[in-house]
Amino acid sequence: MFEIVHSIESCTVLVVDDAKVIRKLVSAILKPVCRTVSFESAETALKVCHKIKPDLIIMDIHLEGMSGLEACQQLKSDPELADIPLIFITSNQDPKTQEKCWDAGAVDFIEKPLVASTLVKRITTHLKYKVQADILTNQSFVDGLTELYNRRFFDIEIERLLKDSLRRRVPLALLLIDIDFFKKFNDSLGHLEGDQALKSVTRQVSLCARRPVDLVCRYGGEEIAVLLPDTSVHSAQQFASDIVKSIAGLAIVHPMSPHKHVTVSVGLSCTGSSKATTPAQLIAQADDALYHAKEAGRNQYQASVALVS
């Protein structure tokens, strides 16, 4: 997909670190790649974000005043700034600290001492993703009703992500989500209410997808597909369970459902354990699992038989 991105030289990277030497070092390293603007405090950086709307932010976790984690959480809570990717700079390799970075909404973190080549490659990759996302948002890859990526984009991305998964030997998980008894919902309450329910469900699924790399698409009709790169079977199962519970928790009244509110069924497949090597195989396994979730009573998830056999 990077072939649609011609140049990142015009991109602006915001560098936030209370150490002047680090700000100067990062700016010098990235000078041949893109434009940089630097500040020593998170408070100042957040104020200028609305004015300059940077394409990416590099921020130290530990800052005087507002911490990097607090700044990232505030950034992600602002609809106008939430799509700006943020990379943390940290000297702390503790897994709990790294988990806090992901939870805050960071797309990556770079360890100190900084390695110039690693910094350039990481920044280049994330800038290309950002530019690509901006282009796609304005093209024909977004579903008009739900504002999710559509089936066309899903078909492109599952092929790319699967190739990357097999090349790097890391798992790729796929969830197929179907709203239970949705035709009956439309028949009883009307299509306008159905559209609102669909938008509420897709919004909730998107909220559950915490990482920027997680891809949520409208697969077709009332079906939603979620691609989870670099995600183990166990983590994908937890994600699926969270989806089922959170949708039920919306408590959207569904008079024609035995559950009396809107619920979803989820089918899960994952590379590696399932031996799936093509998009068709991965989709077929998730679809089969979805069928079993419906047969078992709906309002639940099922993993592909290939994962548990």
- Domain final residue, candidates 137, 166, 189: 137
pLDDT band at 41 (very low <50, low <70, confident <90, very high): very high
Mark whether 195 and 121 lie in a shared domain. Answer: no
pLDDT band at 4 (very low <50, low <70, confident <90, very high): very low
pLDDT band at 99 (very low <50, low <70, confident <90, very high): confident
Mark whether 197 and 132 lie in a shared domain. Answer: no
Of 73-82, 153-162, 201-210, the one with minimum mean pLDDT is: 73-82
Question: Please, what is the average pLDDT of the chain?
Answer: 91
Any idea which residues carry the catalytic annotation?
222
Position with higher pLDDT, 273 vs 233: 233
Of 36-45, 99-108, 244-253, the one with minimum mean pLDDT is: 99-108
- Domain final residue, candidates 137, 160, 176: 137
- The mean per-residue pLDDT over the stretch 179-197 comes to 96
Q: Is residue 145 part of a domain?
A: no
Mark whether 120 and 159 lie in a shared domain. Answer: no
One-letter identity of residue 43: E
pLDDT band at 258 (very low <50, low <70, confident <90, very high): very high
Whichever domain contains 264, its CATH number is: 3.30.70.270
Mark whether 55 and 113 lie in a shared domain. Answer: yes
Euclidean distance between CA atoms 163 and 277, whole angstroms: 8
Position with higher pLDDT, 307 vs 177: 177
- Domain final residue, candidates 88, 112, 137: 137
Report yes or no: 216 and 176 within 8 Å, Cβ to Cβ. no
What does pTM read for this prediction?
0.60
Greatest Cα pair distance, the chain, in angstroms, is 65
The share of the chain scoring above pLDDT 70, in percent, equals 95
Which pair of structure tokens corresponds to residue 307? 């994962």
Q: Is residue 144 part of a domain?
A: no
- The mean per-residue pLDDT over the stretch 282-297 comes to 96
Mark whether 251 and 132 lie in a shared domain. Answer: no
Residue-range definition of the domain harbouring residue 210 = 151-308
Query: At residue 270, does pLDDT exceed 50?
Result: yes
pLDDT band at 112 (very low <50, low <70, confident <90, very high): confident
Euclidean distance between CA atoms 253 and 18, whole angstroms: 51
- Render pLDDT for 234-255 as a digit per residue (tens, 0 to 9): 999 999 999 999 999 999 999 9
Q: Report the alpha-carbon angle 192-197-203, nearest 5.
A: 130
pLDDT band at 50 (very low <50, low <70, confident <90, very high): confident
The dihedral built from the CA positions of residue 81, 42, 71 and 116, taken in this order, carries a sign that is positive
Mark whether 155 and 292 lie in a shared domain. Answer: yes
Q: Is residue 92 part of a domain?
A: yes
Question: φ and ψ at 134, to 5 degrees?
Answer: -65, -40
One-letter identity of residue 56: L
Euclidean distance between CA atoms 305 and 56, whole angstroms: 41
Which pair of structure tokens corresponds to residue 189? 């309450």
Mark whether 185 and 133 lie in a shared domain. Answer: no
Query: At residue 178, does pLDDT exceed 80?
Result: yes
Query: At residue 109, does pLDDT exceed 80?
Result: yes
Tally helices (H) and strands (E) across the chain. Answer: 11, 10
Report yes or no: 228 and 236 within 8 Å, Cβ to Cβ. yes
Within a 10 A sphere around the Cβ of 170, how many other Cβ atoms?
14
Mark whether 131 and 160 lie in a shared domain. Answer: no
Q: Checking DSSP bridges between strand 56-60 and strand 86-90, what pairing results, if any?
A: parallel
DSSP string, 31-89: TTTSEEEEES-HHHHHHHHHHH--SEEEEESS-SSS-HHHHHHHHHTSTTTTTS-EEEE
Q: Is residue 257 part of a domain?
A: yes
- The mean per-residue pLDDT over the stretch 53-64 comes to 93
Query: At residue 5, does pLDDT exceed 60?
Result: no
Euclidean distance between CA atoms 182 and 302, whole angstroms: 19
Q: Is residue 297 part of a domain?
A: yes
Mark whether 133 and 163 lie in a shared domain. Answer: no
pLDDT score at 171:
94
Mark whether 162 and 286 lie in a shared domain. Answer: yes
- The mean per-residue pLDDT over the stretch 276-302 comes to 95
Query: At residue 15, does pLDDT exceed 60?
Result: yes
Using alpha carbons, select from 7, 8, 44 the residue that is nearest to residue 23. 44
pLDDT score at 276:
84
pLDDT band at 142 (very low <50, low <70, confident <90, very high): confident
Mark whether 127 and 155 lie in a shared domain. Answer: no
Mark whether 93 and 214 lie in a shared domain. Answer: no
Q: Is residue 130 part of a domain?
A: yes
Measured CA distances, 15 to 30, 154, 159 (Å): 10, 33, 34
How many independent structural domains does the chain possess? Answer: 2
Question: φ and ψ at 88, to 5 degrees?
Answer: -90, 145
Q: Is residue 142 part of a domain?
A: no
Whichever domain contains 125, its CATH number is: 3.40.50.2300
Helix, strand, or coil (residue 271): coil
Q: Is residue 26 part of a domain?
A: yes
- The mean per-residue pLDDT over the stretch 64-75 comes to 93
